[in-house]
Amino acid sequence: MSILVAVVNGDSEVEYDRSRTLPEQQRAYLDKMDQKMDLGIPGSQGGNIFAPDQEQKAQFVANQLMMAIESENEQLIVASMAYLALRLPQLKQVSAKEKDGEQQITLIYDKDYTPPQVVNFVKPERLNSH
Of 23, 3, 11, 2, give the one whose Cα is nearest residue 95.
11
The pLDDT of residue 123: 79
- CA-closest candidate to residue 87, choices 2, 7, 23, 30: 30
Q: Is the pLDDT of residue 97 over 60?
A: yes
pTM: 0.85
Tell me how far apart the alpha carbons of residues 112 and 115 are, in angstroms, rounded to a whole number: 10
Is the model's pLDDT at 89 over the cut of 90?
Answer: yes
CA torsion 62→68→74→80, rounded to 10°?
-20
